[in-house]
Structure 1
Amino acid sequence: MSQKDKLIEEAGQNTRLAHIGNDPRAYHGFVNPPVVKGSTVLFPNAEAMEKRSQPYTYGTRATPTTDALCAAFDQLEGSAGTILVPSGLAAISIPFLAYLSSGDHALIVDSVYTPCRTFCDTMLTRLGIDVEYYDPEIGADITKLMRPNTKLVHTEAPGSNTFEMQDIRAITDAVHAYSADVVVTLDNTWATPLYFRPLDFGADVSIHATTKYPSGHSDIVMGSVSANAKHFPALEAARIAMGICGAPEDSYLILRGLRTMGLRLDQHQKSALEIAEWLDGRDGVARVLHPALPSFPGHEIWKRDFKGSSGIFSFVLQAEPERAKAKAHAFLDALSFFGLGYSWGGYESLALVVNLSDRTIRKQPIEGAVIRLQIGLEDVPDLKKDLEAGFAAAAAV
């Protein structure tokens, strides 16, 4: 490790983000690594080609641009290696295929990202893998569900859409005490490695939809998977075997997004928490689902383990069952600054109605519809005014 690398390791968050994943001296002094696009890489002679004795051999394997982004994530995560994949869902599915085989048993948290559940219930089941869902608040009792053929435990902290907190340290300690060979994966998209580092809490693999906060501008679809030394080789082997790779131009834009991620996240966090506190106890709101609120059931775990919260949370719009859908639609249709769209992590605010019909344990709240908000970088008074218009429209239904 160079002297500069040592200084970066000890530096503050925004200093690190400004200096990871780039070495200007390697690129004639240019601050940003260049976008290296290509498939074929030439070798100097036949022996070098046979032995592949050079850093780059083919475009799907790696490029200087994708390597720069992987190096940045390794420094953020404390991981032994990172792979880049074309989407957040691919960042979940590739590790599952890397670590699971026919006849294996996988435990998946019930508050999981819906496309992940779809992948498990279709592809994994078809491949002969036994998938079982568990309560996100199970903690160390996860071992009660484990079997001799359990090979993977997938976690999310917090959970998608309803934001249940998981005690990751309790889960990882229990799982690895049961069997050191079981892989614990964690979807860390909500917190990013700035606010939570899964490998520091015993997880083996950290998963991100880099589409979200690392990009920050709603113009990139990509995922990353970072693993510890024990489990990275199998992850990289699976990626190579399936020909999966991240695009150099997208990698460049993610690197550019990383430089401001700390500043953006800080603003997302402040604005989201201010709006969540404003909603908490407000007429028309049954519950606010935000881990940083003291009223939230998983708040103590969040406070103990996390360094911050991001810009996405949900609330339950009070409504009788027969009027819940109509009120939710009226609420959304009255919004102006909040766009109606999927994804999150960009500069703009978004809203949607959460569909929890796929849940088997943590089901739809009985008090009304769940509205998920992504709080962007707009001024909070403007966003509150927008939400007030939504509440007025819902009340009129």
Structure 2
Amino acid sequence: MTFSVPDTSVRPEGEAPGLTTRLVHHAYQPPAGFAAPQPPVYKASTVIFPTVAAMRAREWKDKTSYTYGLHGTPTTYQLEERLATLEGGAQCLLVPSGLAAIANVSLALLRTGDEVLIPDNAYGPSKALAEVELRHYGIRHTVYDPMDLADLAARITPATRLVWLEAPGSVTMEFPDLAEQVRICRARGVVAALDNTWGAGLAFAPFDLAPGSEPLGVDISVHALTKYPSGGGDVLMGSITTRDQALHLRIKLAHMRLGLGVGANDVEALLRSLPSTALRYAAHDRAARELARWLQSQPAVVQVLHPALPGSPGHEHWQALCGPHQGVQGAQGGQGLAAGLFSMVIDERFGQDAVDAFCDGLRLFKLGYSWGGPMSLVVPYELASMRERPTPHLKPGTVVRFSIGLEDVEDLRADLAQALLGAFGGA
């Protein structure tokens, strides 16, 4: 069998290259100076270098240049820098989801024989990551009571390398004494990483938690951009923000080795929605508080879990960190900031079937996970399967979580009223 060799000779002088070649290597470059409200979108896996020397000289770790699409483009660099500003950090990395941010941090900082502490009310998939994936690598995890500072301090051992914090807790909305938790971690030389999706860089400043001569803040803030920064319920993305350059580099190198990247069109969507985040966050907050207060008066509801409501677990900690005198964006109508998420506990007299009927009976609220988008959502939870420790601060009953969207508050109130009546009658 013989093979023919393609003709690679240069075309005769004066003869134009073939059409396909001219399209691929077209000489036209648009003029510089185009300015518009939204930045341009750069899509690339391959990045072109002018010379071999330039290829060897370029550095992607400090964002001074570009080497490969996975390591950054002008579009991703812009979003990272804006998010660092939002959260008060110095460096930021983009990842495909909030859970990917948690995984990236954990895999960058933990090794076989290390231990990570996780609050009992943490985001469920974060606990599952530790229980299954990290365990495969010989990394232990311990669950602590986020509302008991002594319990956190007692569970830090010489093997502890990372403590996860969450404010407020997932579903049950307990707000911890975040500043004191960070002080405990700092005193023991342990990295403190916060899931700051609820705070969104707006309710409080994660890297500046308390006044004083020495800054007090978390070491790492991770954020599910899927929620408030996106605001549309249509983008999956996460971020990891830090202030310490060495810590950032450890996470960034792991980020590179794990091959974590985000799509340019998703970054474009975030860049477009980011400027309105504070406005939307405040609107979600106002509506959620109004509905949460109203639900407190409903006969079938025995408890409303909302950090800004007096009596809710950890309300005093929310007040100290996020209250009217603290809000990063300023107090909204003298109220501080508290997002658009809350839960209620339905009286234990009513079984799961009645609770499910209530959720199914809602017309404007849709059944769906996540939050921060324009549409209001509801999810019932079986709390016993989600907690390892007793929850005496919660009244007996079934927990239902709401994410309040951007609908008219009176329409949402009417929807809740008809569904409560249909499922529980006059209670």
Residue 63 in 1 paired to residue 92 in 2? no
Q: 1: CA distance between counterparts of 2:353 and 2:145?
A: 30
Identity of aligned residues (%): 42
Aligned length: 369
Residue 358 in 1 paired to residue 386 in 2? yes
Q: 2: CA distance between counterparts of 1:56 and 1:278?
A: 53
The amino acid that maps onto 2:149 is G
Q: 1: CA distance between counterparts of 2:415 and 2:297?
A: 18
| Deviation digits for residues 79-108 of structure 1 (CA, Å, limit 9, x no counterpart) | 121111111111111101111111001110
2:199–2:338 Cα contact (<8 Å) kept: yes
The equivalent position to 1:160 in structure 2, one of 160, 167, 170, is 170
Residue 38 in 1 paired to residue 44 in 2? yes
2:231–2:277 Cα contact (<8 Å) kept: yes
| Deviation digits for residues 66-91 of structure 1 (CA, Å, limit 9, x no counterpart) | 11100001111221211111111111
Residue 383 in 1 paired to residue 383 in 2? no
Which residue number in structure 2 is paired with residue 205 of structure 1? 220
| Deviation digits for residues 288-341 of structure 1 (CA, Å, limit 9, x no counterpart) | 000000121311110110121000110001133xx4211111101110000111
| Deviation digits for residues 312-371 of structure 1 (CA, Å, limit 9, x no counterpart) | 110001133xx4211111101110000111111001100010232131015595621101
Q: How does 1:91-240 map to 2 (within 5 A)?
A: 91-139=101-149, 141-179=151-189, 182-201=190-209, 202-229=217-244, 230-240=246-256
Structural RMSD (CA): 1.7
| Deviation digits for residues 49-69 of structure 1 (CA, Å, limit 9, x no counterpart) | 122256111000001111110
Structure 2 gaps of 5+ residues are 1-31, 210-216, 328-336
Which residue number in structure 2 is paired with residue 343 of structure 1? 370
Q: 2: CA distance between counterparts of 1:193 and 1:246?
A: 21
Deviates more, 1:358-367 or 1:159-168: 358-367
The amino acid that maps onto 1:173 is R
1:188–1:196 Cα contact (<8 Å) kept: no
Q: 1: CA distance between counterparts of 2:386 and 2:290?
A: 31
CA shift, 1:386, in A, is: 0.5
Q: 2: CA distance between counterparts of 1:176 and 1:286?
A: 39
Structure 1 gaps of 5+ residues are 1-25
Q: 2: CA distance between counterparts of 1:140 and 1:63?
A: 45
Deviates more, 1:27-36 or 1:201-210: 27-36
Deviates more, 1:48-57 or 1:376-385: 48-57
Residue 264 in 1 paired to residue 274 in 2? no
Residue 394 in 1 paired to residue 419 in 2? no
Question: Which secondary structure state, in structure 2, belongs to the residue aligned with residue 83 of structure 1?
Answer: strand
Structure 1 consecutive aligned stretches of length 4 or more whose deviation exceeds 4 Å: 362-366
Q: 2: CA distance between counterparts of 1:363 and 1:394?
A: 26
> 1 or 2, which has the higher helix percentage?
1
Bigger-Rg structure (1/2): 2
2:173–2:313 Cα contact (<8 Å) kept: no
Q: 1: CA distance between counterparts of 2:106 and 2:76?
A: 22
CA shift, 1:390, in A, is: 1.5
Deviates more, 1:269-278 or 1:192-201: 192-201
1:80–1:232 Cα contact (<8 Å) kept: no
The amino acid that maps onto 2:200 is T
